[in-house]
Amino acid sequence: MSAHRQRVARHISEIEVSAIKQMAILSARLPDAASLTWGLPSFRTPAPIRRAVGRALEEDPDIGKYALPDGLPELRRLAAEDYRSVTGRAVDPDRNVLITAGNMQGVNAVLHAILDAGDRVVVTDPCFASHLQQIRLCGGEPVFWPLDEEAGWALDPETLPERIDARTKAVLLVTPSNPTGAIFTEAQVRRTAELARARGLLLIVDDPYRHFTYENRAASFNPGAIDGMEDDLAYLFTFSKAYAMSGWRLGYAILPEALKREVLKVHDATLICAPRISQAAGVAALSGDRAHLSQFQERLAKRRALICARLDRLPHVFSYVRPEGAYYVFPRILVPHETSHAFALSLLEETHVAVTPGEAFGPTGEEHVRMAYCVEEAVINAAFDRMERHFGAGP
Ligand SMILES: Cc1ncc(COP(=O)(O)O)c(C=O)c1O
Protein backbone atom coordinates (compact mmCIF):
# COMPACT_ATOMS: atom_id res chain seq x y z
CA MET A 1 0.00 0.00 0.00
CA SER A 2 1.42 3.45 -0.88
CA ALA A 3 2.25 5.94 1.87
CA HIS A 4 -0.54 8.11 0.52
CA ARG A 5 -3.15 5.35 0.80
CA GLN A 6 -1.99 4.59 4.34
CA ARG A 7 -2.29 8.22 5.31
CA VAL A 8 -5.80 8.85 4.03
CA ALA A 9 -8.74 7.91 6.25
CA ARG A 10 -10.65 4.94 4.83
CA HIS A 11 -14.03 6.69 4.91
CA ILE A 12 -12.52 9.54 2.86
CA SER A 13 -10.72 7.37 0.32
CA GLU A 14 -13.99 5.49 -0.20
CA ILE A 15 -15.99 8.53 -1.28
CA GLU A 16 -15.64 10.54 -4.49
CA VAL A 17 -16.16 14.14 -5.49
CA SER A 18 -19.86 14.20 -6.46
CA ALA A 19 -20.68 13.06 -9.98
CA ILE A 20 -22.30 16.46 -10.57
CA LYS A 21 -18.99 18.26 -10.03
CA GLN A 22 -17.01 15.53 -11.83
CA MET A 23 -19.12 16.04 -14.94
CA ALA A 24 -18.87 19.82 -14.54
CA ILE A 25 -15.06 19.54 -14.35
CA LEU A 26 -14.93 17.29 -17.43
CA SER A 27 -17.27 19.51 -19.43
CA ALA A 28 -15.32 22.67 -18.46
CA ARG A 29 -12.40 21.20 -20.42
CA LEU A 30 -14.48 21.32 -23.60
CA PRO A 31 -14.85 24.91 -24.77
CA ASP A 32 -18.03 24.14 -26.74
CA ALA A 33 -19.70 21.91 -24.13
CA ALA A 34 -23.46 22.31 -23.65
CA SER A 35 -23.72 21.58 -19.96
CA LEU A 36 -26.92 20.54 -18.21
CA THR A 37 -25.00 19.01 -15.36
CA TRP A 38 -24.73 21.57 -12.56
CA GLY A 39 -27.66 23.25 -10.82
CA LEU A 40 -25.95 26.59 -11.10
CA PRO A 41 -28.52 29.23 -12.10
CA SER A 42 -27.43 31.47 -14.97
CA PHE A 43 -28.85 34.54 -13.19
CA ARG A 44 -26.73 37.35 -11.84
CA THR A 45 -27.02 38.33 -8.15
CA PRO A 46 -29.75 41.05 -8.18
CA ALA A 47 -28.51 44.66 -8.46
CA PRO A 48 -29.90 45.91 -5.10
CA ILE A 49 -27.87 43.22 -3.30
CA ARG A 50 -24.71 44.04 -5.27
CA ARG A 51 -25.14 47.76 -4.55
CA ALA A 52 -25.74 47.22 -0.82
CA VAL A 53 -22.56 45.15 -0.60
CA GLY A 54 -20.61 47.85 -2.47
CA ARG A 55 -21.80 50.40 0.09
CA ALA A 56 -20.99 48.09 3.01
CA LEU A 57 -17.45 47.60 1.68
CA GLU A 58 -16.90 51.35 1.63
CA GLU A 59 -18.76 52.36 4.76
CA ASP A 60 -18.71 49.51 7.28
CA PRO A 61 -15.33 49.37 9.04
CA ASP A 62 -16.14 45.87 10.34
CA ILE A 63 -17.11 44.35 7.01
CA GLY A 64 -13.81 42.50 6.63
CA LYS A 65 -13.91 40.99 10.11
CA TYR A 66 -15.23 37.80 11.64
CA ALA A 67 -18.82 37.83 12.83
CA LEU A 68 -19.91 35.94 15.93
CA PRO A 69 -20.25 32.25 14.99
CA ASP A 70 -24.03 32.10 14.74
CA GLY A 71 -24.21 35.13 12.48
CA LEU A 72 -25.01 38.84 12.46
CA PRO A 73 -27.97 39.60 14.76
CA GLU A 74 -29.66 41.61 12.01
CA LEU A 75 -29.48 38.70 9.58
CA ARG A 76 -30.70 36.23 12.20
CA ARG A 77 -33.66 38.51 12.90
CA LEU A 78 -34.47 38.75 9.20
CA ALA A 79 -34.08 34.98 8.75
CA ALA A 80 -36.53 34.36 11.61
CA GLU A 81 -38.99 36.74 9.95
CA ASP A 82 -38.50 35.07 6.58
CA TYR A 83 -39.17 31.66 8.12
CA ARG A 84 -42.29 32.96 9.87
CA SER A 85 -43.60 34.45 6.65
CA VAL A 86 -43.35 31.02 4.97
CA THR A 87 -44.39 28.70 7.80
CA GLY A 88 -46.40 30.88 10.17
CA ARG A 89 -44.03 29.81 12.99
CA ALA A 90 -42.25 32.28 15.23
CA VAL A 91 -38.68 31.29 16.08
CA ASP A 92 -36.17 33.07 18.28
CA PRO A 93 -33.25 34.63 16.37
CA ASP A 94 -30.87 33.91 19.26
CA ARG A 95 -32.03 30.46 20.29
CA ASN A 96 -33.01 28.93 16.96
CA VAL A 97 -31.26 30.65 14.03
CA LEU A 98 -27.79 29.84 12.72
CA ILE A 99 -26.34 31.62 9.70
CA THR A 100 -24.49 29.07 7.55
CA ALA A 101 -22.20 29.15 4.55
CA GLY A 102 -24.98 27.62 2.45
CA ASN A 103 -26.99 24.44 2.80
CA MET A 104 -24.07 22.13 1.99
CA GLN A 105 -22.26 23.42 5.03
CA GLY A 106 -25.44 23.65 7.10
CA VAL A 107 -26.59 20.08 6.42
CA ASN A 108 -23.05 18.84 6.93
CA ALA A 109 -22.85 20.56 10.34
CA VAL A 110 -26.23 19.13 11.41
CA LEU A 111 -25.19 15.62 10.34
CA HIS A 112 -21.87 15.91 12.17
CA ALA A 113 -23.73 17.01 15.28
CA ILE A 114 -26.09 14.02 15.32
CA LEU A 115 -24.23 11.05 13.79
CA ASP A 116 -21.89 8.58 15.41
CA ALA A 117 -20.11 6.08 13.17
CA GLY A 118 -22.59 3.49 11.96
CA ASP A 119 -25.66 5.67 12.50
CA ARG A 120 -28.21 5.83 9.71
CA VAL A 121 -30.08 8.54 7.87
CA VAL A 122 -33.06 7.80 5.66
CA VAL A 123 -32.82 9.56 2.29
CA THR A 124 -35.20 9.42 -0.62
CA ASP A 125 -34.01 7.36 -3.57
CA PRO A 126 -33.15 9.21 -5.72
CA CYS A 127 -31.86 11.97 -3.44
CA PHE A 128 -29.42 14.89 -3.69
CA ALA A 129 -26.08 13.18 -4.45
CA SER A 130 -24.03 15.28 -2.01
CA HIS A 131 -26.18 14.14 0.92
CA LEU A 132 -24.81 10.63 0.41
CA GLN A 133 -21.25 11.89 0.65
CA GLN A 134 -22.06 14.02 3.66
CA ILE A 135 -23.60 11.12 5.57
CA ARG A 136 -20.59 8.93 4.71
CA LEU A 137 -18.17 11.71 5.72
CA CYS A 138 -19.61 11.39 9.23
CA GLY A 139 -19.11 7.62 9.16
CA GLY A 140 -22.89 7.24 8.78
CA GLU A 141 -24.91 5.11 6.38
CA PRO A 142 -27.63 6.32 4.06
CA VAL A 143 -30.77 4.17 3.99
CA PHE A 144 -32.54 4.45 0.66
CA TRP A 145 -36.28 5.09 0.59
CA PRO A 146 -37.39 4.63 -3.03
CA LEU A 147 -39.68 7.14 -4.68
CA ASP A 148 -42.34 5.89 -7.07
CA GLU A 149 -41.44 6.99 -10.61
CA GLU A 150 -44.73 5.74 -12.09
CA ALA A 151 -46.63 7.94 -9.65
CA GLY A 152 -44.53 11.01 -10.58
CA TRP A 153 -41.63 10.29 -8.20
CA ALA A 154 -44.07 10.27 -5.27
CA LEU A 155 -43.16 9.63 -1.65
CA ASP A 156 -44.90 6.74 0.12
CA PRO A 157 -44.68 7.43 3.87
CA GLU A 158 -46.16 4.05 4.75
CA THR A 159 -42.93 2.43 3.57
CA LEU A 160 -40.83 4.60 5.91
CA PRO A 161 -41.17 2.59 9.18
CA GLU A 162 -39.62 -0.55 7.67
CA ARG A 163 -36.47 1.49 6.96
CA ILE A 164 -36.03 2.66 10.55
CA ASP A 165 -34.05 0.75 13.16
CA ALA A 166 -32.26 1.49 16.42
CA ARG A 167 -29.35 3.18 14.58
CA THR A 168 -31.52 5.55 12.57
CA LYS A 169 -31.13 9.18 13.60
CA ALA A 170 -32.84 11.25 10.92
CA VAL A 171 -34.89 11.51 7.75
CA LEU A 172 -33.62 13.94 5.13
CA LEU A 173 -36.09 15.54 2.70
CA VAL A 174 -35.79 17.92 -0.24
CA THR A 175 -39.05 19.27 -1.68
CA PRO A 176 -39.29 20.55 -4.41
CA SER A 177 -36.91 17.74 -5.07
CA ASN A 178 -33.47 17.52 -6.56
CA PRO A 179 -33.00 15.50 -8.82
CA THR A 180 -36.60 14.66 -9.82
CA GLY A 181 -38.33 18.04 -9.69
CA ALA A 182 -41.23 16.41 -7.80
CA ILE A 183 -43.13 18.24 -5.08
CA PHE A 184 -44.19 16.02 -2.20
CA THR A 185 -47.81 16.58 -1.23
CA GLU A 186 -48.87 18.09 2.07
CA ALA A 187 -50.32 14.72 3.13
CA GLN A 188 -47.04 12.92 2.32
CA VAL A 189 -44.94 15.48 4.17
CA ARG A 190 -47.23 15.54 7.22
CA ARG A 191 -47.33 11.75 7.48
CA THR A 192 -43.53 11.54 7.08
CA ALA A 193 -43.07 14.08 9.87
CA GLU A 194 -45.53 12.23 12.09
CA LEU A 195 -43.80 8.86 11.57
CA ALA A 196 -40.32 10.34 12.05
CA ARG A 197 -41.32 12.11 15.26
CA ALA A 198 -43.03 9.00 16.63
CA ARG A 199 -39.69 7.17 16.28
CA GLY A 200 -37.68 9.99 17.84
CA LEU A 201 -35.96 10.95 14.56
CA LEU A 202 -34.87 14.39 13.45
CA LEU A 203 -36.53 15.55 10.23
CA ILE A 204 -33.95 17.49 8.22
CA VAL A 205 -35.39 19.63 5.44
CA ASP A 206 -32.88 20.99 2.93
CA ASP A 207 -34.89 23.62 1.08
CA PRO A 208 -33.12 25.47 -1.75
CA TYR A 209 -36.12 25.44 -4.10
CA ARG A 210 -39.22 26.62 -2.24
CA HIS A 211 -39.50 29.62 -4.57
CA PHE A 212 -39.29 27.50 -7.70
CA THR A 213 -42.67 25.95 -8.30
CA TYR A 214 -44.82 26.26 -11.41
CA GLU A 215 -48.51 25.78 -12.19
CA ASN A 216 -48.98 23.74 -9.03
CA ARG A 217 -47.54 26.39 -6.71
CA ALA A 218 -50.44 25.93 -4.28
CA ALA A 219 -49.54 22.23 -3.83
CA SER A 220 -46.18 23.04 -2.35
CA PHE A 221 -46.13 22.61 1.43
CA ASN A 222 -43.39 23.63 3.85
CA PRO A 223 -42.76 21.07 6.62
CA GLY A 224 -41.92 23.96 8.95
CA ALA A 225 -45.65 24.71 9.04
CA ILE A 226 -46.49 21.44 10.86
CA ASP A 227 -47.66 21.87 14.46
CA GLY A 228 -45.46 20.56 17.22
CA MET A 229 -42.30 19.92 15.17
CA GLU A 230 -40.25 22.60 16.94
CA ASP A 231 -38.05 20.04 18.71
CA ASP A 232 -37.78 17.60 15.83
CA LEU A 233 -37.13 19.70 12.71
CA ALA A 234 -33.93 21.11 11.26
CA TYR A 235 -34.88 23.43 8.40
CA LEU A 236 -32.25 24.85 6.04
CA PHE A 237 -32.70 27.58 3.47
CA THR A 238 -30.02 28.80 1.10
CA PHE A 239 -29.60 32.11 -0.71
CA SER A 240 -27.78 30.27 -3.55
CA LYS A 241 -30.74 29.71 -5.82
CA ALA A 242 -33.55 32.12 -4.91
CA TYR A 243 -31.16 35.09 -4.71
CA ALA A 244 -28.66 33.85 -7.35
CA MET A 245 -25.97 33.93 -4.68
CA SER A 246 -24.38 30.49 -5.12
CA GLY A 247 -20.86 31.94 -5.00
CA TRP A 248 -21.51 33.94 -1.84
CA ARG A 249 -21.97 30.76 0.23
CA LEU A 250 -24.82 31.80 2.51
CA GLY A 251 -27.82 30.14 4.11
CA TYR A 252 -29.76 29.98 7.34
CA ALA A 253 -30.74 27.07 9.55
CA ILE A 254 -33.72 26.98 11.92
CA LEU A 255 -32.93 24.52 14.68
CA PRO A 256 -34.32 23.37 18.01
CA GLU A 257 -32.50 25.34 20.71
CA ALA A 258 -30.60 22.35 22.15
CA LEU A 259 -29.52 21.20 18.69
CA LYS A 260 -28.35 24.69 17.71
CA ARG A 261 -25.88 24.56 20.62
CA GLU A 262 -24.40 21.30 19.27
CA VAL A 263 -24.37 22.35 15.62
CA LEU A 264 -22.66 25.59 16.60
CA LYS A 265 -19.70 23.57 17.91
CA VAL A 266 -19.21 21.95 14.49
CA HIS A 267 -19.79 25.24 12.70
CA ASP A 268 -17.25 27.06 14.89
CA ALA A 269 -14.67 24.27 14.62
CA THR A 270 -14.86 24.15 10.82
CA LEU A 271 -15.64 27.69 9.74
CA ILE A 272 -15.96 30.13 12.68
CA CYS A 273 -18.67 32.05 10.83
CA ALA A 274 -20.23 32.48 7.42
CA PRO A 275 -18.31 35.18 5.48
CA ARG A 276 -19.38 38.53 6.87
CA ILE A 277 -19.53 40.18 3.47
CA SER A 278 -21.97 37.49 2.37
CA GLN A 279 -24.01 38.11 5.50
CA ALA A 280 -24.23 41.78 4.48
CA ALA A 281 -25.53 40.55 1.11
CA GLY A 282 -28.04 38.38 2.96
CA VAL A 283 -29.31 41.36 4.97
CA ALA A 284 -29.86 43.24 1.70
CA ALA A 285 -31.56 40.19 0.15
CA LEU A 286 -34.04 39.66 2.98
CA SER A 287 -34.77 43.33 3.66
CA GLY A 288 -35.02 44.51 0.05
CA ASP A 289 -37.80 44.00 -2.45
CA ARG A 290 -37.92 40.58 -4.08
CA ALA A 291 -39.02 41.63 -7.54
CA HIS A 292 -36.32 39.44 -9.06
CA LEU A 293 -38.09 36.31 -7.79
CA SER A 294 -41.00 36.55 -10.20
CA GLN A 295 -38.53 37.17 -13.05
CA PHE A 296 -36.53 34.07 -12.07
CA GLN A 297 -39.76 32.06 -11.84
CA GLU A 298 -40.95 33.26 -15.24
CA ARG A 299 -37.65 32.50 -16.94
CA LEU A 300 -37.37 29.07 -15.32
CA ALA A 301 -40.96 28.28 -16.35
CA LYS A 302 -39.98 29.05 -19.97
CA ARG A 303 -36.90 26.88 -19.70
CA ARG A 304 -38.95 24.07 -18.20
CA ALA A 305 -41.42 24.28 -21.10
CA LEU A 306 -38.51 24.29 -23.55
CA ILE A 307 -36.69 21.27 -22.09
CA CYS A 308 -39.96 19.29 -21.89
CA ALA A 309 -40.74 20.17 -25.52
CA ARG A 310 -37.26 19.09 -26.57
CA LEU A 311 -37.52 15.84 -24.56
CA ASP A 312 -40.86 15.18 -26.27
CA ARG A 313 -38.98 15.11 -29.58
CA LEU A 314 -36.72 12.30 -28.30
CA PRO A 315 -39.31 9.75 -27.09
CA HIS A 316 -37.10 6.91 -28.40
CA VAL A 317 -34.19 8.10 -26.21
CA PHE A 318 -35.79 9.30 -22.95
CA SER A 319 -39.06 9.00 -21.06
CA TYR A 320 -39.60 11.46 -18.25
CA VAL A 321 -41.87 12.74 -15.50
CA ARG A 322 -42.71 16.41 -16.00
CA PRO A 323 -40.99 18.30 -13.19
CA GLU A 324 -43.24 20.27 -10.84
CA GLY A 325 -40.61 22.37 -9.10
CA ALA A 326 -36.91 23.19 -8.69
CA TYR A 327 -35.15 23.15 -12.09
CA TYR A 328 -34.24 19.55 -12.77
CA VAL A 329 -35.69 16.77 -14.87
CA PHE A 330 -34.69 13.15 -14.36
CA PRO A 331 -35.34 11.22 -17.57
CA ARG A 332 -35.09 7.46 -17.93
CA ILE A 333 -32.64 6.34 -20.63
CA LEU A 334 -34.39 4.17 -23.23
CA VAL A 335 -31.50 3.52 -25.61
CA PRO A 336 -29.11 0.60 -25.01
CA HIS A 337 -26.35 1.49 -22.56
CA GLU A 338 -24.30 -0.19 -19.87
CA THR A 339 -24.66 2.18 -16.93
CA SER A 340 -25.91 5.72 -16.53
CA HIS A 341 -22.28 6.70 -15.90
CA ALA A 342 -21.08 5.12 -19.15
CA PHE A 343 -24.01 6.75 -20.98
CA ALA A 344 -23.17 10.22 -19.60
CA LEU A 345 -19.47 9.84 -20.42
CA SER A 346 -20.04 8.70 -23.98
CA LEU A 347 -22.65 11.45 -24.52
CA LEU A 348 -20.06 13.98 -23.38
CA GLU A 349 -17.33 12.47 -25.51
CA GLU A 350 -19.41 12.10 -28.65
CA THR A 351 -21.67 15.16 -28.53
CA HIS A 352 -20.09 17.46 -25.92
CA VAL A 353 -23.39 17.44 -24.00
CA ALA A 354 -22.96 17.11 -20.22
CA VAL A 355 -25.63 15.48 -18.04
CA THR A 356 -25.25 13.88 -14.61
CA PRO A 357 -25.49 10.09 -14.35
CA GLY A 358 -28.52 9.05 -12.34
CA GLU A 359 -26.62 6.42 -10.32
CA ALA A 360 -25.03 9.26 -8.34
CA PHE A 361 -28.43 9.96 -6.74
CA GLY A 362 -29.03 6.44 -5.40
CA PRO A 363 -29.84 2.97 -6.77
CA THR A 364 -33.22 4.05 -8.20
CA GLY A 365 -31.35 6.66 -10.21
CA GLU A 366 -29.58 4.05 -12.33
CA GLU A 367 -31.08 4.04 -15.87
CA HIS A 368 -31.56 7.80 -15.56
CA VAL A 369 -29.71 11.06 -16.05
CA ARG A 370 -30.29 14.41 -14.40
CA MET A 371 -30.61 17.50 -16.56
CA ALA A 372 -30.53 20.96 -14.96
CA TYR A 373 -32.50 23.56 -16.91
CA CYS A 374 -31.36 26.62 -14.96
CA VAL A 375 -29.04 27.42 -17.87
CA GLU A 376 -29.72 29.81 -20.79
CA GLU A 377 -32.24 28.61 -23.40
CA ALA A 378 -29.46 28.61 -26.01
CA VAL A 379 -27.59 25.96 -23.99
CA ILE A 380 -30.71 23.77 -23.73
CA ASN A 381 -31.28 24.11 -27.46
CA ALA A 382 -27.64 23.37 -28.32
CA ALA A 383 -27.68 20.26 -26.11
CA PHE A 384 -30.87 18.91 -27.69
CA ASP A 385 -29.86 19.82 -31.26
CA ARG A 386 -26.75 17.72 -30.75
CA MET A 387 -28.66 14.85 -29.13
CA GLU A 388 -31.17 14.86 -32.03
CA ARG A 389 -28.30 14.65 -34.51
CA HIS A 390 -26.64 11.92 -32.47
CA PHE A 391 -29.66 9.70 -31.77
CA GLY A 392 -31.71 10.65 -34.83
CA ALA A 393 -35.04 12.48 -34.73
CA GLY A 394 -37.99 10.78 -33.02
CA PRO A 395 -40.64 8.70 -34.78
C1 LIG B 1 -30.77 19.84 -2.21
C2 LIG B 1 -29.62 20.76 -2.28
N3 LIG B 1 -28.97 21.09 -1.16
C4 LIG B 1 -27.93 21.93 -1.16
C5 LIG B 1 -27.47 22.47 -2.35
C6 LIG B 1 -26.31 23.40 -2.31
O7 LIG B 1 -26.71 24.52 -1.63
P8 LIG B 1 -25.67 25.64 -1.14
O9 LIG B 1 -25.18 26.35 -2.36
O10 LIG B 1 -26.49 26.48 -0.27
O11 LIG B 1 -24.58 24.94 -0.42
C12 LIG B 1 -28.10 22.16 -3.55
C13 LIG B 1 -27.59 22.70 -4.82
O14 LIG B 1 -27.79 22.17 -5.88
C15 LIG B 1 -29.21 21.29 -3.50
O16 LIG B 1 -29.88 20.96 -4.61
**pTM for this predicted structure:** 0.96
* Rounded distance from Cα 104 to ligand 1 centre (Å): 6
Predicted confidence at residue 234, as pLDDT, reads: 98
pLDDT score, position 303: 97
pLDDT at 218: 66
Nearby residues of 173 by Cβ (< 8 Å), 6 or more positions away: 124, 184, 189, 192, 203, 204, 205, 206, 223
Chain segment 280-297, per-residue pLDDT in tens: 999 999 998 899 999 999
Write down the pLDDT at residue 1.
56
What pLDDT sits at residue 250? 98
**Ligand 1 center to residue 134 CA distance, Å?**
12
d(CA 2, ligand 1 centre) in Å: 35
Where does ligand 1 bind, in terms of residues with CB under 6 Å?
39, 102-104, 128, 174, 178, 206, 208, 238, 240, 246, 251
CA-closest candidate to residue 261, choices 113, 119, 80: 113
Annotate 44-81 with DSSP letters as a single string. PPPHHHHHHHHHHHHH-TTTTSPPPTT--HHHHHHHHH
Question: How many angstroms separate the alpha carbon of residue 174 from the centre of ligand 1?
Answer: 10
- Tell me the best of 42, 178, 205 to mutate to test the pocket of ligand 1, counting ligand atoms within 8 Å of each CB and taking the most: 178
Residue 240 alpha carbon, nearest atom of ligand 1: 9
At residue 395, the pLDDT reads: 74
Beta bridge partners of 99: 252
For the chain, domain boundaries: 3-45+292-391, 64-287
Tell me the pLDDT of the chain (395 aa) as tens digits.
577 778 898 888 888 777 778 888 888 888 899 999 988 889 999 999 999 999 999 999 999 999 999 999 999 999 999 999 999 999 999 999 999 999 999 999 999 999 999 999 999 999 999 999 999 999 999 999 999 999 999 999 999 999 999 999 999 999 999 999 999 999 999 999 999 999 999 999 999 999 999 877 667 899 999 999 999 999 999 999 999 999 999 999 999 999 999 999 999 999 999 999 999 999 999 998 899 999 999 999 999 999 999 999 999 999 999 999 999 999 999 999 999 999 999 999 999 999 999 999 999 999 999 999 999 999 999 999 999 999 997 77
Q: Which amino acid is at 375?
A: V
* CATH for the 3-45+292-391 domain, from 3.90.740.10, 3.40.50.720, 2.60.40.10, 3.90.1150.10: 3.90.1150.10
Q: How many angstroms does the Cα of residue 395 sit away from the middle of ligand 1? A: 38
Angle at CA 297, nearest 5°, toward 373 and 388? 25
Give the C-alpha separation, 272 to 227, whole Å. 33
Q: At the top level of CATH, which class does the domain 64-287 belong to?
A: alpha beta
**Smallest Cα–Cα separation from 271: which of 22, 101, 28, 151?**
101
Per the CB < 8 A criterion, the answer to whether 326 and 41 are in contact is no
**How far away, in angstroms, is 128 Cα from ligand 1 center?**
8
- In this structure, the residue with its CA closest to atom 15 of ligand 1 is 208
